[in-house]
Chains A and B, each alone.
Chain A
Protein backbone atom coordinates (compact mmCIF):
# COMPACT_ATOMS: atom_id res chain seq x y z
CA UNK A 1 0.00 0.00 0.00
CA UNK A 2 1.47 3.33 -1.07
CA UNK A 3 0.19 6.65 0.26
CA UNK A 4 0.47 9.70 -2.02
CA UNK A 5 -0.37 13.35 -1.34
CA UNK A 6 -3.23 14.93 -3.24
CA UNK A 7 -2.64 18.55 -2.26
CA UNK A 8 -2.65 19.77 1.34
CA UNK A 9 -6.00 18.27 2.37
CA UNK A 10 -6.13 14.76 0.90
CA UNK A 11 -4.29 11.46 0.58
CA UNK A 12 -4.49 9.05 -2.33
CA UNK A 13 -3.83 5.47 -1.25
CA UNK A 14 -2.73 3.00 -3.93
CA UNK A 15 -4.08 -0.42 -3.07
CA UNK A 16 -2.93 -2.28 -6.19
CA UNK A 17 -6.31 -3.91 -6.83
CA UNK A 18 -10.01 -3.27 -6.53
CA UNK A 19 -10.68 -5.80 -3.74
CA UNK A 20 -8.15 -4.14 -1.41
CA UNK A 21 -9.57 -0.73 -2.35
CA UNK A 22 -12.99 -1.94 -1.18
CA UNK A 23 -11.57 -3.37 2.04
CA UNK A 24 -9.73 -0.12 2.83
CA UNK A 25 -12.86 1.84 1.94
CA UNK A 26 -14.87 -0.28 4.40
CA UNK A 27 -12.22 0.09 7.12
CA UNK A 28 -12.08 3.90 6.70
CA UNK A 29 -15.86 4.24 6.81
CA UNK A 30 -16.00 2.12 9.97
CA UNK A 31 -13.15 4.12 11.56
CA UNK A 32 -15.01 7.44 10.98
CA UNK A 33 -11.81 9.45 11.48
CA UNK A 34 -12.63 12.99 12.69
CA UNK A 35 -11.92 15.56 9.99
CA UNK A 36 -12.24 13.08 7.10
CA UNK A 37 -15.17 14.29 4.98
CA UNK A 38 -14.99 11.96 1.98
CA UNK A 39 -13.62 8.49 1.27
CA UNK A 40 -13.67 7.80 -2.48
CA UNK A 41 -12.82 4.35 -3.84
CA UNK A 42 -11.32 4.19 -7.34
CA UNK A 43 -10.26 1.21 -9.44
CA UNK A 44 -7.06 0.63 -7.47
CA UNK A 45 -7.06 3.53 -5.04
CA UNK A 46 -8.91 5.16 -2.18
CA UNK A 47 -8.94 8.95 -1.89
CA UNK A 48 -9.20 10.27 1.67
CA UNK A 49 -10.38 13.88 1.79
CA UNK A 50 -10.22 16.17 4.83
CA UNK A 51 -11.62 19.68 5.13
CA UNK A 52 -9.80 21.92 7.60
CA UNK A 53 -12.11 24.85 6.74
CA UNK A 54 -15.13 22.99 8.12
CA UNK A 55 -13.99 20.19 10.41
CA UNK A 56 -11.11 19.59 12.79
CA UNK A 57 -7.62 19.96 11.32
CA UNK A 58 -6.07 16.62 10.40
CA UNK A 59 -2.33 15.98 10.50
CA UNK A 60 -1.90 14.39 7.06
CA UNK A 61 1.56 13.01 7.91
CA UNK A 62 0.17 11.14 10.89
CA UNK A 63 -2.85 9.95 8.95
CA UNK A 64 -0.58 8.77 6.10
CA UNK A 65 1.54 6.85 8.60
CA UNK A 66 -1.53 5.30 10.20
CA UNK A 67 -3.27 4.09 7.03
CA UNK A 68 -1.04 1.13 6.10
CA UNK A 69 -1.52 -0.28 9.63
CA UNK A 70 -5.31 -0.03 9.53
CA UNK A 71 -6.95 -3.43 10.12
CA UNK A 72 -8.83 -4.33 6.96
CA UNK A 73 -11.94 -6.50 6.95
CA UNK A 74 -11.29 -9.92 5.39
CA UNK A 75 -13.74 -9.33 2.59
CA UNK A 76 -15.62 -6.13 1.87
CA UNK A 77 -17.67 -7.55 -0.97
CA UNK A 78 -21.34 -7.44 -0.29
CA UNK A 79 -22.48 -10.77 1.15
CA UNK A 80 -26.16 -9.95 0.65
CA UNK A 81 -27.99 -11.21 -2.41
CA UNK A 82 -27.00 -9.43 -5.63
CA UNK A 83 -29.10 -6.50 -6.82
CA UNK A 84 -31.18 -7.83 -9.71
CA UNK A 85 -31.64 -5.33 -12.50
CA UNK A 86 -34.46 -6.21 -14.93
CA UNK A 87 -33.53 -5.36 -18.52
CA UNK A 88 -35.52 -5.10 -21.72
CA UNK A 89 -32.84 -5.85 -24.32
CA UNK A 90 -33.87 -3.56 -27.17
CA UNK A 91 -30.91 -1.14 -27.11
CA UNK A 92 -30.00 0.98 -30.11
CA UNK A 93 -26.48 -0.43 -30.28
CA UNK A 94 -27.32 -4.11 -29.96
CA UNK A 95 -26.81 -4.81 -33.69
CA UNK A 96 -23.57 -2.82 -33.71
CA UNK A 97 -22.23 -4.72 -30.69
CA UNK A 98 -23.20 -8.00 -32.37
CA UNK A 99 -21.27 -6.93 -35.45
CA UNK A 100 -18.21 -5.74 -33.49
CA UNK A 101 -18.01 -8.93 -31.44
CA UNK A 102 -18.97 -11.36 -34.21
CA UNK A 103 -21.74 -12.72 -31.98
CA UNK A 104 -25.44 -12.94 -32.69
CA UNK A 105 -27.81 -10.48 -31.04
CA UNK A 106 -29.15 -13.24 -28.82
CA UNK A 107 -25.67 -14.34 -27.85
CA UNK A 108 -24.74 -10.75 -26.84
CA UNK A 109 -27.82 -10.61 -24.62
CA UNK A 110 -27.18 -14.07 -23.22
CA UNK A 111 -23.57 -13.28 -22.31
CA UNK A 112 -24.47 -9.91 -20.79
CA UNK A 113 -27.26 -11.42 -18.70
CA UNK A 114 -25.40 -14.51 -17.50
CA UNK A 115 -22.38 -12.79 -15.91
CA UNK A 116 -22.06 -11.78 -12.25
CA UNK A 117 -20.97 -8.22 -11.73
CA UNK A 118 -19.43 -6.20 -8.91
CA UNK A 119 -19.47 -2.40 -8.63
CA UNK A 120 -15.80 -1.36 -8.81
CA UNK A 121 -16.46 2.32 -8.08
CA UNK A 122 -18.93 5.10 -8.79
CA UNK A 123 -18.27 8.21 -10.84
CA UNK A 124 -19.21 10.07 -14.01
CA UNK A 125 -22.61 10.98 -12.57
CA UNK A 126 -24.45 10.40 -9.27
CA UNK A 127 -25.20 6.70 -8.82
CA UNK A 128 -23.27 5.62 -11.95
CA UNK A 129 -21.48 2.38 -11.02
CA UNK A 130 -18.65 0.91 -13.08
CA UNK A 131 -19.44 -2.83 -13.03
CA UNK A 132 -16.66 -5.37 -13.44
CA UNK A 133 -17.32 -8.92 -14.54
CA UNK A 134 -18.33 -8.27 -18.15
CA UNK A 135 -17.67 -11.24 -20.47
CA UNK A 136 -14.37 -10.46 -22.27
CA UNK A 137 -16.07 -11.27 -25.59
CA UNK A 138 -18.22 -8.17 -25.02
CA UNK A 139 -15.35 -5.72 -24.49
CA UNK A 140 -15.97 -3.09 -27.16
CA UNK A 141 -14.69 0.47 -27.42
CA UNK A 142 -17.05 3.30 -26.64
CA UNK A 143 -18.75 5.08 -29.54
CA UNK A 144 -16.56 7.47 -31.50
CA UNK A 145 -19.00 10.29 -31.00
CA UNK A 146 -20.92 10.29 -27.73
CA UNK A 147 -24.67 10.82 -27.70
CA UNK A 148 -25.70 14.20 -26.31
CA UNK A 149 -28.48 12.56 -24.28
CA UNK A 150 -28.73 8.98 -23.08
CA UNK A 151 -32.04 8.22 -21.30
CA UNK A 152 -32.08 7.26 -17.61
CA UNK A 153 -32.15 3.49 -17.17
CA UNK A 154 -30.06 2.77 -20.28
CA UNK A 155 -28.08 -0.45 -19.86
CA UNK A 156 -24.72 -0.04 -21.54
CA UNK A 157 -21.20 -1.40 -21.97
CA UNK A 158 -17.79 0.12 -22.81
CA UNK A 159 -14.32 -1.40 -22.54
CA UNK A 160 -14.25 -3.88 -19.64
CA UNK A 161 -17.27 -2.28 -17.91
CA UNK A 162 -21.02 -2.56 -17.80
CA UNK A 163 -23.27 0.14 -16.33
CA UNK A 164 -26.77 1.52 -16.08
CA UNK A 165 -27.22 5.27 -16.62
CA UNK A 166 -28.95 6.42 -13.39
CA UNK A 167 -30.13 9.68 -14.94
CA UNK A 168 -30.34 11.27 -18.37
CA UNK A 169 -26.90 12.47 -19.42
CA UNK A 170 -24.54 12.65 -22.38
CA UNK A 171 -22.74 9.36 -22.92
CA UNK A 172 -20.55 7.36 -25.26
CA UNK A 173 -21.26 3.82 -24.08
CA UNK A 174 -22.97 1.21 -26.28
CA UNK A 175 -26.63 0.76 -25.36
CA UNK A 176 -27.89 -2.82 -25.02
CA UNK A 177 -31.22 -2.20 -23.34
CA UNK A 178 -33.11 -0.36 -20.63
CA UNK A 179 -34.30 -0.90 -17.08
CA UNK A 180 -37.12 0.62 -15.07
CA UNK A 181 -35.35 0.04 -11.78
CA UNK A 182 -34.54 3.45 -10.24
CA UNK A 183 -30.81 3.46 -9.50
CA UNK A 184 -30.74 7.01 -8.20
CA UNK A 185 -33.33 8.78 -6.08
CA UNK A 186 -32.36 11.78 -3.97
CA UNK A 187 -35.33 11.23 -1.67
CA UNK A 188 -34.07 7.77 -0.72
CA UNK A 189 -31.36 7.11 1.88
CA UNK A 190 -28.91 6.13 0.54
CA UNK A 191 -29.88 7.78 -2.78
CA UNK A 192 -27.82 5.29 -4.80
CA UNK A 193 -28.88 1.66 -5.21
CA UNK A 194 -25.26 0.80 -5.96
CA UNK A 195 -22.09 1.40 -4.00
CA UNK A 196 -18.55 0.12 -4.36
CA UNK A 197 -18.63 -3.65 -3.76
CA UNK A 198 -22.34 -4.18 -4.53
CA UNK A 199 -22.94 -7.35 -6.57
CA UNK A 200 -25.24 -7.06 -9.56
CA UNK A 201 -27.06 -9.38 -11.98
CA UNK A 202 -29.04 -8.46 -15.08
CA UNK A 203 -32.34 -10.27 -15.60
CA UNK A 204 -33.82 -10.28 -19.12
CA UNK A 205 -37.43 -9.14 -19.37
CA UNK A 206 -39.82 -9.42 -22.25
CA UNK A 207 -40.60 -6.13 -23.94
CA UNK A 208 -44.02 -5.03 -22.60
Chain B
Protein backbone atom coordinates (compact mmCIF):
# COMPACT_ATOMS: atom_id res chain seq x y z
CA UNK B 1 0.00 0.00 0.00
CA UNK B 2 1.23 3.49 -0.86
CA UNK B 3 0.28 6.54 1.15
CA UNK B 4 0.18 9.96 -0.45
CA UNK B 5 2.16 12.37 1.72
CA UNK B 6 2.19 15.28 -0.75
CA UNK B 7 0.51 15.06 -4.17
CA UNK B 8 2.23 18.13 -5.67
CA UNK B 9 0.18 20.56 -7.83
CA UNK B 10 -1.93 17.76 -9.39
CA UNK B 11 -1.54 14.00 -9.21
CA UNK B 12 -4.04 11.49 -10.61
CA UNK B 13 -4.26 7.74 -11.15
CA UNK B 14 -4.18 6.86 -14.85
CA UNK B 15 -4.15 3.79 -17.06
CA UNK B 16 -5.02 3.62 -20.74
CA UNK B 17 -8.51 5.02 -20.19
CA UNK B 18 -12.03 4.09 -21.26
CA UNK B 19 -12.10 3.51 -25.01
CA UNK B 20 -15.38 2.15 -26.34
CA UNK B 21 -17.70 4.48 -24.43
CA UNK B 22 -17.35 7.67 -26.49
CA UNK B 23 -20.84 7.23 -27.99
CA UNK B 24 -22.23 7.57 -24.45
CA UNK B 25 -20.35 10.84 -23.91
CA UNK B 26 -17.51 9.25 -21.93
CA UNK B 27 -14.08 10.71 -22.74
CA UNK B 28 -11.27 8.22 -23.32
CA UNK B 29 -9.17 9.77 -20.52
CA UNK B 30 -6.09 7.76 -19.46
CA UNK B 31 -2.45 8.88 -19.24
CA UNK B 32 -2.03 12.15 -21.13
CA UNK B 33 1.48 11.07 -22.21
CA UNK B 34 0.58 7.49 -22.98
CA UNK B 35 4.07 6.64 -24.25
CA UNK B 36 5.69 7.49 -20.90
CA UNK B 37 3.02 5.63 -18.94
CA UNK B 38 3.48 2.49 -21.04
CA UNK B 39 7.26 2.73 -20.63
CA UNK B 40 7.04 3.08 -16.84
CA UNK B 41 4.94 -0.09 -16.70
CA UNK B 42 7.28 -2.06 -18.98
CA UNK B 43 10.25 -1.12 -16.82
CA UNK B 44 8.72 -2.82 -13.77
CA UNK B 45 7.38 -5.83 -15.71
CA UNK B 46 3.73 -4.72 -15.67
CA UNK B 47 1.26 -4.90 -18.50
CA UNK B 48 1.27 -1.57 -20.31
CA UNK B 49 -2.31 -0.90 -19.24
CA UNK B 50 -1.60 -1.07 -15.49
CA UNK B 51 -2.58 2.00 -13.45
CA UNK B 52 0.18 4.49 -12.60
CA UNK B 53 0.34 7.91 -10.94
CA UNK B 54 0.50 10.91 -13.27
CA UNK B 55 2.22 13.84 -11.55
CA UNK B 56 1.98 17.40 -12.85
CA UNK B 57 5.16 19.41 -12.23
CA UNK B 58 6.36 16.87 -9.65
CA UNK B 59 6.61 18.20 -6.10
CA UNK B 60 5.23 15.01 -4.57
CA UNK B 61 6.03 12.54 -1.81
CA UNK B 62 4.75 8.97 -1.33
CA UNK B 63 5.25 6.63 1.65
CA UNK B 64 5.59 2.96 0.70
CA UNK B 65 4.20 0.70 3.43
CA UNK B 66 5.53 -2.41 1.69
CA UNK B 67 8.64 -3.00 -0.41
CA UNK B 68 8.14 -2.36 -4.09
CA UNK B 69 9.80 -1.86 -7.45
CA UNK B 70 8.96 1.43 -9.12
CA UNK B 71 9.95 3.34 -12.25
CA UNK B 72 9.52 7.04 -13.00
CA UNK B 73 9.25 8.26 -16.61
CA UNK B 74 8.02 11.32 -18.51
CA UNK B 75 9.15 14.80 -17.51
CA UNK B 76 12.66 14.14 -16.07
CA UNK B 77 12.31 14.71 -12.37
CA UNK B 78 14.76 14.26 -9.47
CA UNK B 79 13.73 11.10 -7.55
CA UNK B 80 14.82 10.44 -3.98
CA UNK B 81 14.20 7.27 -1.99
CA UNK B 82 14.70 8.04 1.70
CA UNK B 83 16.86 10.95 0.57
CA UNK B 84 19.02 8.99 -1.84
CA UNK B 85 18.94 10.04 -5.49
CA UNK B 86 17.72 7.61 -8.15
CA UNK B 87 17.56 7.97 -11.90
CA UNK B 88 14.41 8.10 -13.99
CA UNK B 89 13.54 5.69 -16.82
CA UNK B 90 14.93 2.87 -14.71
CA UNK B 91 13.53 0.32 -12.25
CA UNK B 92 14.22 1.33 -8.67
CA UNK B 93 13.81 -0.73 -5.48
CA UNK B 94 11.90 0.88 -2.61
CA UNK B 95 12.27 -0.72 0.85
CA UNK B 96 9.24 -1.04 3.14
CA UNK B 97 8.57 2.23 4.96
CA UNK B 98 10.59 4.34 2.55
CA UNK B 99 9.63 7.83 1.41
CA UNK B 100 9.78 8.44 -2.35
CA UNK B 101 10.06 12.11 -3.25
CA UNK B 102 9.76 13.75 -6.65
CA UNK B 103 11.31 17.17 -7.25
CA UNK B 104 10.41 19.53 -10.10
CA UNK B 105 10.94 18.26 -13.65
CA UNK B 106 13.70 20.07 -15.55
CA UNK B 107 11.62 19.86 -18.72
CA UNK B 108 8.22 18.50 -19.66
CA UNK B 109 5.11 18.74 -17.50
CA UNK B 110 3.96 15.26 -16.48
CA UNK B 111 5.92 12.47 -14.80
CA UNK B 112 4.68 8.89 -14.32
CA UNK B 113 5.35 6.51 -11.47
CA UNK B 114 4.60 2.85 -12.07
CA UNK B 115 4.78 0.29 -9.29
CA UNK B 116 5.26 -3.42 -9.94
CA UNK B 117 1.79 -4.99 -9.61
CA UNK B 118 0.05 -1.77 -10.65
CA UNK B 119 -2.27 0.43 -8.61
CA UNK B 120 -5.54 -1.37 -7.94
CA UNK B 121 -7.94 1.41 -7.01
CA UNK B 122 -11.53 0.59 -8.02
CA UNK B 123 -12.34 0.50 -11.71
CA UNK B 124 -15.10 2.61 -13.23
CA UNK B 125 -16.26 1.42 -16.67
CA UNK B 126 -13.21 -0.80 -16.99
CA UNK B 127 -10.62 1.83 -16.13
CA UNK B 128 -8.95 3.32 -13.05
CA UNK B 129 -8.28 6.66 -14.73
CA UNK B 130 -9.29 9.99 -13.22
CA UNK B 131 -11.27 11.89 -15.83
CA UNK B 132 -11.19 15.55 -14.84
CA UNK B 133 -13.80 16.58 -17.43
CA UNK B 134 -16.58 14.20 -16.48
CA UNK B 135 -15.54 13.34 -12.92
CA UNK B 136 -15.29 9.59 -13.53
CA UNK B 137 -12.71 7.55 -11.64
CA UNK B 138 -10.92 8.41 -8.40
CA UNK B 139 -10.59 12.02 -7.25
CA UNK B 140 -7.23 13.71 -7.77
CA UNK B 141 -4.84 12.46 -5.09
CA UNK B 142 -4.79 14.25 -1.74
CA UNK B 143 -2.49 13.93 1.26
CA UNK B 144 -3.50 10.87 3.29
CA UNK B 145 -4.93 8.89 0.34
CA UNK B 146 -3.94 5.22 0.32
CA UNK B 147 -3.33 3.44 -2.95
CA UNK B 148 -3.54 -0.37 -3.04
CA UNK B 149 -0.94 -2.25 -5.11
CA UNK B 150 -1.75 -5.42 -7.02
CA UNK B 151 0.10 -8.74 -6.79
CA UNK B 152 3.20 -9.29 -8.89
CA UNK B 153 2.63 -13.03 -9.43
CA UNK B 154 2.90 -13.96 -13.06
CA UNK B 155 4.35 -10.63 -14.18
CA UNK B 156 7.35 -10.45 -16.49
CA UNK B 157 10.74 -10.28 -14.83
CA UNK B 158 12.40 -6.90 -14.58
CA UNK B 159 15.03 -7.16 -17.26
CA UNK B 160 15.99 -3.63 -18.21
CA UNK B 161 18.47 -1.54 -16.21
CA UNK B 162 17.65 1.75 -17.86
CA UNK B 163 15.65 2.86 -20.91
CA UNK B 164 16.82 5.63 -23.24
CA UNK B 165 15.38 8.87 -21.92
CA UNK B 166 12.91 10.83 -24.02
CA UNK B 167 14.00 14.36 -24.68
CA UNK B 168 11.59 17.24 -24.33
CA UNK B 169 12.86 19.99 -26.64
CA UNK B 170 12.33 23.63 -25.65
CA UNK B 171 10.54 24.40 -28.90
CA UNK B 172 9.03 21.19 -30.27
CA UNK B 173 7.68 20.89 -33.79
CA UNK B 174 4.42 18.95 -33.91
CA UNK B 175 3.28 17.19 -37.07
CA UNK B 176 -0.32 17.78 -38.17
CA UNK B 177 -2.65 16.31 -40.75
CA UNK B 178 -5.12 18.81 -42.25
CA UNK B 179 -8.83 18.41 -41.62
CA UNK B 180 -11.41 17.15 -41.14
CA UNK B 181 -12.70 20.76 -41.27
CA UNK B 182 -9.83 22.71 -42.86
CA UNK B 183 -12.32 23.85 -45.53
CA UNK B 184 -14.08 25.94 -42.86
CA UNK B 185 -11.03 28.21 -42.72
CA UNK B 186 -9.55 30.77 -45.09
CA UNK B 187 -6.94 29.54 -47.58
CA UNK B 188 -4.05 30.92 -45.55
CA UNK B 189 -5.08 29.24 -42.27
CA UNK B 190 -2.80 26.19 -42.62
CA UNK B 191 0.04 28.46 -43.79
CA UNK B 192 -0.46 30.65 -40.71
CA UNK B 193 -0.59 27.60 -38.46
CA UNK B 194 2.63 26.14 -39.86
CA UNK B 195 4.70 29.32 -40.27
CA UNK B 196 4.35 31.07 -36.91
CA UNK B 197 5.17 29.84 -33.42
CA UNK B 198 2.34 29.49 -30.89
CA UNK B 199 2.74 29.85 -27.16
CA UNK B 200 1.22 27.43 -24.65
CA UNK B 201 -1.29 29.25 -22.48
CA UNK B 202 -1.48 28.94 -18.67
CA UNK B 203 -5.08 27.67 -18.73
CA UNK B 204 -4.08 24.37 -20.35
CA UNK B 205 -5.01 21.13 -18.61
CA UNK B 206 -5.73 17.44 -19.29
CA UNK B 207 -8.67 18.45 -21.50
CA UNK B 208 -6.59 20.54 -23.84
CA UNK B 209 -3.54 22.67 -24.54
CA UNK B 210 -4.68 26.24 -25.19
CA UNK B 211 -2.51 28.32 -27.48
CA UNK B 212 -1.71 32.00 -27.97
CA UNK B 213 -0.62 33.28 -31.38
CA UNK B 214 -2.05 34.45 -34.68
CA UNK B 215 -5.77 33.60 -34.85
CA UNK B 216 -7.02 31.48 -37.73
CA UNK B 217 -9.74 33.10 -39.77
CA UNK B 218 -12.91 31.30 -40.79
CA UNK B 219 -14.02 31.15 -44.42
CA UNK B 220 -17.53 30.03 -43.44
CA UNK B 221 -20.06 31.59 -41.18
CA UNK B 222 -22.61 29.59 -39.27
CA UNK B 223 -22.32 26.73 -36.89
CA UNK B 224 -20.93 23.29 -37.48
CA UNK B 225 -23.29 20.59 -36.30
CA UNK B 226 -21.74 18.75 -33.37
CA UNK B 227 -19.48 15.86 -34.31
CA UNK B 228 -17.13 13.36 -32.71
CA UNK B 229 -13.63 14.56 -31.83
CA UNK B 230 -10.37 12.61 -31.59
CA UNK B 231 -7.46 13.17 -29.21
CA UNK B 232 -4.94 15.48 -30.87
CA UNK B 233 -7.64 17.52 -32.66
CA UNK B 234 -6.87 21.22 -33.12
CA UNK B 235 -10.32 22.60 -32.40
CA UNK B 236 -10.78 26.26 -33.24
CA UNK B 237 -13.34 28.21 -31.17
CA UNK B 238 -14.60 31.65 -32.29
CA UNK B 239 -11.43 33.30 -30.90
CA UNK B 240 -9.52 31.64 -33.77
CA UNK B 241 -6.94 30.26 -31.31
CA UNK B 242 -6.58 26.48 -31.59
CA UNK B 243 -6.91 24.11 -28.63
CA UNK B 244 -5.08 20.77 -28.84
CA UNK B 245 -7.36 18.11 -27.35
CA UNK B 246 -5.70 15.79 -24.82
CA UNK B 247 -6.95 12.69 -22.97
CA UNK B 248 -9.96 14.21 -21.14
CA UNK B 249 -11.36 16.05 -24.18
CA UNK B 250 -15.13 16.07 -24.74
CA UNK B 251 -16.35 13.31 -27.06
CA UNK B 252 -18.25 15.69 -29.35
CA UNK B 253 -17.86 19.34 -30.20
CA UNK B 254 -19.39 22.05 -32.34
CA UNK B 255 -16.28 24.02 -33.31
CA UNK B 256 -14.42 23.00 -36.45
CA UNK B 257 -11.18 21.00 -36.27
CA UNK B 258 -8.65 22.53 -38.67
CA UNK B 259 -6.08 19.74 -38.30
CA UNK B 260 -5.19 16.76 -36.11
CA UNK B 261 -1.79 15.98 -34.59
CA UNK B 262 0.01 12.90 -35.83
CA UNK B 263 -0.95 10.33 -33.20
CA UNK B 264 2.73 9.77 -32.37
CA UNK B 265 3.02 13.44 -31.36
CA UNK B 266 0.14 13.54 -28.86
CA UNK B 267 2.49 12.42 -26.08
CA UNK B 268 4.79 15.37 -26.91
CA UNK B 269 1.82 17.79 -26.72
CA UNK B 270 0.93 16.34 -23.30
CA UNK B 271 4.34 17.46 -22.01
CA UNK B 272 4.02 21.12 -23.06
CA UNK B 273 4.41 23.69 -20.32
CA UNK B 274 2.67 27.05 -20.12
CA UNK B 275 4.86 29.69 -21.80
CA UNK B 276 6.57 27.20 -24.09
CA UNK B 277 6.72 27.94 -27.83
CA UNK B 278 5.72 25.32 -30.35
CA UNK B 279 5.52 25.05 -34.12
CA UNK B 280 3.37 22.91 -36.37
CA UNK B 281 4.38 21.30 -39.64
CA UNK B 282 2.44 19.37 -42.25
Closest chain-A Cβ to B165's Cβ sits at a distance in Å of 20
Interface check A146, CB cutoff 8 A: no
Q: How far, in angstroms, from A54 to B28 measured CA to CA in the complex?
A: 13
Which residues of B are found within 8 Å of A39, using beta-carbon distances? 22-23
Q: Give the number of chain B interface residues (Cβ < 8 Å).
A: 38
Interface of B is mostly: loop
Which residues on A sit within 8 Å (CB–CB) of B135? 167
Q: Which residues of A contact B124 (CB under 8 A)?
A: 186
User: Bound state CA distance, A119 and B251, in angstroms?
Assistant: 16
Given contacts A7-B263, A123-B252, A186-B136, contact A12 B26 (CB under 8 A): no
Residues of chain B with a CB closer than 8 A to A5's CB:
177, 179-180, 260
Query: Does B129 reach chain A (CB closer than 8 Å)?
Result: no
Q: Which residues of B contact A44 (CB under 8 A)?
A: 225, 227
Q: Which residue of A lies closest to B266 (CB)?
A: A7
Set of chain B residues within 8 Å of A51, measured between Cβ atoms: 19
> Do residues A123 and B230 form an inter-chain contact, with CB atoms below 8 A?
no
B252 nearest in chain A by CB position = A123
Q: Mark A25-38, 1 if CB is under 8 A from B, else 0.
A: 10000000000011
- The smallest C-beta distance from B40 to any residue of chain A, in angstroms, reads 15
Measured between beta carbons, the chain A residues less than 8 angstroms from B179 are 4-6
What residues of A have a CB within 8 angstroms of the CB of B136 in the complex? 126, 186
CB contacts (< 8 Å) of B186 on chain A: these are none
Q: Across the two chains, which residue of chain A brings its CB closest to B25?
A: A122
Answer yes or no: A173 CB below 8 A from chain B CBs.
Answer: no
A126 / chain B contacts, CB cutoff of 8 Å = 21, 24-26, 134, 136
Interface stretch (choices A78-86, A104-112, A136-144, A191-199): A191-199
Q: Taking A12-B227, A53-B34, A123-B251 as contacts, is the C-beta distance between A38 and B22 under 8 angstroms?
A: yes
Known contacts A7-B262, A47-B227: does B25 contact A123 (CB below 8 Å)?
yes
How many angstroms from the CA of A54 to the CA of B125 in the assembled complex?
A: 18
A89 within 8 A of B: no
Is the beta-carbon distance between A6 and B25 smaller than 8 angstroms? Answer: no
Given the interface pairs A47-B229, A126-B25, A126-B136, the reply to whether A12 lies near B19 with Cβ below 8 Å is: no
* Cross-interface CB contact of A191 among B125, B133, B177, B180, cutoff 8 Å: B125
B62 within 8 A of A: no
For chain A, the bracket of interface size reads: 35 or more
Q: How far is the CA of A45 from the CA of B225 in the complex (A)?
A: 9
User: Do A186 and B125 touch across chains, with their CB atoms under 8 A apart?
Assistant: yes
Q: Is the CB of B16 within 8 A of A122?
A: no
User: How far does the alpha carbon of A11 sit from the alpha carbon of B180 in the complex, in Å?
Assistant: 9
Q: With the chains together, A97 CA to B198 CA distance in Å?
A: 43
Tell yes or no: A128 within 8 A of B by CB: yes
| A52 CB–B CB distance under 8 Å | yes
The residue in B24, B34, B252 that gathers the most chain A C-beta atoms within 10 A of its C-beta is B24
Q: Which residues in B have their C-beta under 8 angstroms from that of A53?
A: 34, 38, 263
Query: Quick one: which of B16, B25, B177, B230 contacts A125, CB cutoff 8 A?
Result: B25
Is the CB–CB distance between A122 and B225 below 8 Å? no
**B23 adjacent to A122 (CB under 8 Å):** yes
A195 touches B24 (CB 8 A): yes
Q: Which of B16, B20, B226 contacts A121 (CB 8 A)?
A: B226
B226 and A42: CB pair below 8 A?
A: yes
Contact call B180/A4, Cβ cutoff below 8 A: yes
- Is A41 within 8 A of B230, CB to CB? no
Residues from chain A with Cβ under 8 Å of B23 in the complex? 25, 38-41, 122, 195-196
B58 beta carbon closer than 8 Å to chain A: no
Q: Is B233 an interface residue (CB 8 A)?
A: yes
Confirm or deny: A156 has a beta carbon within 8 angstroms of a beta carbon on chain B.
no
Can you give 14 contacting A-B residue pairs, CB < 8 Å?
A5-B260, A6-B230, A9-B263, A38-B22, A42-B227, A42-B228, A45-B228, A53-B263, A123-B226, A124-B252, A125-B133, A130-B226, A167-B134, A191-B125
20 further A-B contacts with Cβ under 8 Å, apart from A43-B226, A43-B227, are A4-B180, A5-B177, A6-B228, A7-B233, A8-B260, A12-B227, A37-B19, A38-B20, A39-B22, A42-B252, A45-B227, A49-B22, A49-B230, A54-B19, A122-B25, A123-B252, A125-B134, A126-B134, A191-B21, A195-B24
